Every structure is written in structure tokens, then in C-alpha cells.
């Protein structure tokens, strides 16, 4: 915490207050990991997590992992705005999803859900991203499904049209950034399929993502 940001003093003060409640360990992953038993250190964890709303804090609280014995349940990287859940016991993820129902959040499936090839390109829906491999520079990459606004299905041609909503960036600087981003951000507007099974599977996955995101807003 050598750099000074507005929230740096709060980070220093909080860490000084809770540090003695944790023990240093390197048996889980390499690096400076500190461990605390729950529920004994629940309040200390809450105080540390509260730091992630600041510029310094979101990097200071670099990674958090919750274990149940040898099984990990929760892993988060605050400065990447991502967290993962592991359903070590059936129903755990459903319970978390239920708790999030009153918040602007929801649980989305992780891992590779479906993959296929079409027109010389490889497509994969993994976690919350649609990835395209092969083809030209502007036709490959990974695109977050959080920006997928709607899908339209054509049964006759087995195609799915995608309507994307880019992140809003206002002002003159924003327009310049959006213009520059358009050179590399080029998500597919249509997906075509040879077999009906993959066609239906992809449609189901995309609609589920949109539905769950809509419910969480």
C-alpha cells in the first residue's frame, strides 16, 4: 500500500485492526495468504470485504477463497469483478442464488456449456462468454454475455440472431473510446447451425442467461 489513494488510510487502519485474527499460510496457493476460521473471524472478513468499494481496497483484498474442509466453495478476485462458486454439496449454489434474488445479481453457470464448429470457425459458450476462434482478426475473440440484449430464432434456417448492447460510455472521450473499441469489438450478430440438437442447446443457454440477468435487475 505504498501508493496513496483516497481509501488507502482506511485500508491500513482496517488491516491493522484485523490482522492478528488471521494466520499466514502458504499451503493452499503460493503467495501471501492469510487464513481465518469461520464463524470466529466472520466480522473480520466482512470488514475486509467492505474495502473492495475503494480504488486501493479492491486491489489490497486481492483474492478471497472460502473452504469447507478440503473443498472450496467460493473464490473471488474483486478487482476483476468475478467470483466463482463450487457446488460441493447439491443445493449450495441454488441457496446462494436464492439469497441473491433480492439483489442486483444472480448465479450463472460456469465451465464449457456447449461448443460447435461452423463455417471454419470454432464457437464456445463457456461461463458467461461467447468465444469465437478462427477466421479473420475482427471475427474472433470472447464476448461477455452480459451485453447480450436479445436473441431472435429462425426455425426454418436454424439461425439465431444476436442483439448486443455495448457498455454505455458517455461524453466526447466516450465516443472516441467506443470508436476505437469497434475496431476490435465485433461480436457475432448471427449464429448458424447444421444440426438441430446444437441449435436448440445454444438457444436454451442464451435465453437462460438473458432471463436470469433480467430477473436480477
Can you give the residue ranges of every domain in the chain? Answer: 8-102, 112-216
pTM: 0.54
Any alpha helices (H) in 28-185, and if so which ranges? 42-49, 57-60, 92-99, 171-181
CATH architecture of 112-216: Roll (2.30)
C-alpha span between 6 and 104 (Å, rounded): 27
pLDDT per residue, tens digit, the chain (217 aa), is 556 788 999 999 999 999 999 998 766 555 668 999 999 999 999 999 999 999 898 888 988 888 888 888 888 888 776 677 877 666 777 788 787 777 666 676 666 789 999 888 899 988 778 889 876 544 557 887 878 889 999 999 999 999 987 654 444 444 443 343 444 467 899 999 999 999 999 999 899 888 876 655 5
Amino acid at each position: 500500500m505504498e501508493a496513496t489513494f483516497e481509501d488507502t488510510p482506511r485500508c491500513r487502519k482496517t488491516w491493522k485492526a484485523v490482522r492478528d485474527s488471521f494466520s499466514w499460510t502458504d499451503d493452499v496457493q503460493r503467495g501471501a495468504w492469510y487464513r481465518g476460521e469461520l464463524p470466529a473471524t466472520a466480522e473480520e472478513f466482512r470488514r475486509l470485504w467492505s474495502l473492495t468499494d475503494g480504488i486501493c481496497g479492491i486491489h489490497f483484498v486481492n483474492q478471497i477463497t472460502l473452504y469447507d474442509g478440503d473443498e472450496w466453495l467460493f473464490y473471488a478476485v474483486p478487482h476483476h469483478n468475478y467470483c466463482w462458486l463450487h457446488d460441493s454439496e447439491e443445493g449450495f449454489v441454488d441457496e446462494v442464488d436464492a439469497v441473491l434474488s433480492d439483489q442486483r445479481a444472480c448465479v450463472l453457470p460456469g465451465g464449457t456449456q456447449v461448443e460447435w464448429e461452423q463455417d471454419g470457425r470454432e464457437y464456445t459458450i463457456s461461463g458467461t462468454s461467447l468465444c469465437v476462434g478462427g477466421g479473420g482478426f475482427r471475427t474472433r475473440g470472447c464476448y461477455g454475455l452480459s451485453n447480450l440484449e436479445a436473441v431472435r430464432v429462425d426455425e426454418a434456417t436454424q439461425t439465431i440472431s444476436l442483439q448486443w448492447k455495448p457498455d454505455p460510455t458517455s461524453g466526447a472521450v466516450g465516443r472516441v473510446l467506443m470508436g476505437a473499441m469497434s475496431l476490435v469489438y465485433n461480436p457475432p450478430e448471427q449464429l448458424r447451425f447444421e444440426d438441430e440438437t446444437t441449435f436448440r442447446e445454444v438457444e436454451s443457454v442464451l435465453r437462460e442467461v438473458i432471463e436470469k440477468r433480467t430477473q436480477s435487475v
